[in-house]
Chain A
Amino acid sequence: MDGVIGFFEQLGPNIEILGARMPQILEGVQVTVLAAAFGGLLALVISFVFGIAQTVKLGAVRIIARIFVEFFRGTSLVVQLFWLAFVLPQLPYPFGWQLAPLAIGVLALGLNYGAYGAEVVRGSIGSVPKGQYEALSALSLSPVRGMFRVIIPQAWALMIPSLSNLWIQLLKGSAIVSTVLLYDLYFRVEQVRDQTGTWFAFLFALVAYYLVAWVIVIIMNALEVRAKHKIGRGPALSDSLGTLLRPPGGKNVARGAMV
């Protein structure tokens, strides 16, 4: 209980310390946002490439994609991070790259969460009604054209809620990148902990991560509303601005509003 009592006794001074450290903390927020944004973007690209690759007719392509996904889902994010940070530089030329800490973070997060995302993409493609594939076939449209013009736009609307969850997990998982000398939000919180005590520092961390997650949720909700509107399910984005602000963990906007 000391911690709790200390928390309240020290609240005033702690806030002052936090204020004094704000520039570094904001730098940390910036690094975390960059890692989550670029990591998320890389994960998205990987999700699509390896998700779609698992649905193509050519067996060899499917198998390679499958192996990639299994590998990055099956091995730990921390270990992948250490490989990129400490093993990769020791490889002989031209593989021995010493990457910048942020690049390592982005790569590891993108590869790891991209492997999970690939499963989401694959699943959503499989959830597009069979009748759509049959209509494409009856019109003699090529499988590639059908995939990009008809199947993916519908699958996109289905996959956004899951991708949104993955992106938030990626954000939370990004705290781990501080272990490869990336001065992210988590690293900065660790720094103030010495002076403010555990309770205060980690309570602040909770709030900070929550707020960043909220931004992600708003972006993804907007994308989902737009995607659903495009396939004729639900109102236009301009008519649903009010529902976008729901916090992370809340009921999913588009699904709640539409059915």
Chain B
Amino acid sequence: MPENTAPDGATSIGAPHIEFRDVVKRFGDNTVLNDLNFTVAKGERVTLIGPSGSGKTTILRLVMTLEELTGGYIHVGGAPLQYEDQGGKRVRVSDKTRRRTTTQIGMVFQHFNLFPNMTVLENITEAPIHVMGLSKAEAISKAEGLLEKVGMSDKRDFNPSQLSGGQQQRVAIARALAMDPEILLLDEVTSALDPELVGEVLAVLKDIAAETDISMLIVTHEMQFARDVSDRVMMFDQGSIVEEGSPEKIFSDPGHQRTRDFLHAVL
């Protein structure tokens, strides 16, 4: 894995990798996140749990810049992501700069979102060639390595529609990794899968967690997986953090009734 070098060199050692500062997100008059503050350290794996509608997906989408912040700031590797504070004024970061920052961030979606008009291999090589500037040969050999890692080498020339959900999701993981992300966002990546396909995807993710130092922000209902890979679990309700702690603490000895109720309902 590459060292954490933001393109503008803004990364400072010890600074949080992701920082939410007084984040507000509203959809119309529905306030989803209200003054949210938290950080994710470099290489840390943080799992977000909480009831439906508590804002978990919204948090990930804000980091990926798929949603616009209503208020506050998000910093990635020390650099402002969507807005920056310029002498007390909240200034929008340009699309170009945003894109430069988000190049370090990968996301895997619940519904895979592979490009159906491209083969498995093309799905993986498209961004490395056209965003990172790799040569076609470099991109292909990299993609082949990743396909091997996710156990999909024999499917490189298939169309996504010819694959099972679990296989598609493994390709989507390889596609995200092909950009050498320093941050990986996983939003319920197994909830669209048939139960018998969940294991193969989680196994791949566990390997990646073990072999790399990518920071991860994970939303999942697979509590055993959360326990296995997370350094920290944050329990959300109505857009704010109810409690956080090590997975052992949260899953075995939660401090709040709302966490106990939630875990009772999902386990």
Query: Contact between A231 and B113 (Cβ–Cβ < 8 Å)?
Result: no
Q: Which of B109, B117, B175 meets A153, CB within 8 Å?
A: B117
Asked if A251 is at the interface (CB within 8 A of a chain B CB), the reply is no
Chain B positions within 8 Å of A132 at CB level: 113, 115
Beyond A134-B109, A149-B126, whether A139 also contacts B179 by CB under 8 A is: yes
A170 to chain B minimum Cβ distance, whole angstroms, is: 28
Interface residues of B in 89-107 (CB under 8 A from A): 99, 102-103, 105-107
Query: Contact between A137 and B64 (Cβ–Cβ < 8 Å)?
Result: yes
Query: Contact between B116 and A232 (Cβ–Cβ < 8 Å)?
Result: yes
Beyond A138-B107, A139-B131, whether A233 also contacts B117 by CB under 8 A is: no
Query: Contact between B130 and A138 (Cβ–Cβ < 8 Å)?
Result: no
Asked if A135 is at the interface (CB within 8 A of a chain B CB), the reply is yes
Asked if B66 is at the interface (CB within 8 A of a chain A CB), the reply is yes
Q: How far is the CA of A221 from the CA of B114 in the complex (A)?
A: 26
Asked if B39 is at the interface (CB within 8 A of a chain A CB), the reply is no
Residues of B in contact (CB 8 Å), total: 28
Chain B positions within 8 Å of A139 at CB level: 126-127, 131, 175-176, 179
Chain A positions within 8 Å of B176 at CB level: 138-139
- Considering the complex, give the chain B residue whose CB is closest to the CB of A143: B95
B192 to chain A minimum Cβ distance, whole angstroms, is: 11
Asked if B162 is at the interface (CB within 8 A of a chain A CB), the reply is yes
Interface of A is mostly: helix
Q: How far is the CA of A25 from the CA of B34 in the complex (A)?
A: 75
B186 to chain A minimum Cβ distance, whole angstroms, is: 12
Q: How far is the CA of A134 from the CA of B106 in the complex (A)?
A: 11
Asked if A230 is at the interface (CB within 8 A of a chain B CB), the reply is yes
Query: Contact between B66 and A134 (Cβ–Cβ < 8 Å)?
Result: yes
Chain B positions within 8 Å of A154 at CB level: 116-117
Query: Contact between A231 and B109 (Cβ–Cβ < 8 Å)?
Result: no
B156 to chain A minimum Cβ distance, whole angstroms, is: 15
Chain B positions within 8 Å of A150 at CB level: 115, 117-118
Chain A positions within 8 Å of B65 at CB level: 137
Chain A positions within 8 Å of B130 at CB level: 141-142, 145
Chain A positions within 8 Å of B103 at CB level: 140
Asked if A131 is at the interface (CB within 8 A of a chain B CB), the reply is yes
Q: Which residues of B contact A (CB under 8 A)?
A: 64-66, 99, 102-103, 105-107, 109, 111, 113-118, 126-127, 130-131, 159-162, 175-176, 179
Q: Which residues of A contact B (CB under 8 A)?
A: 129, 131-132, 134-135, 137-142, 145, 149-150, 153-154, 230-233
Give the 4 A-B CB pairs with smallest separation, nearest first: A232-B161, A135-B113, A139-B127, A131-B113
What are 7 inter-chain pairs, A to B, with CB distance below 8 A? A129-B113, A134-B113, A137-B65, A139-B126, A140-B102, A142-B131, A154-B116
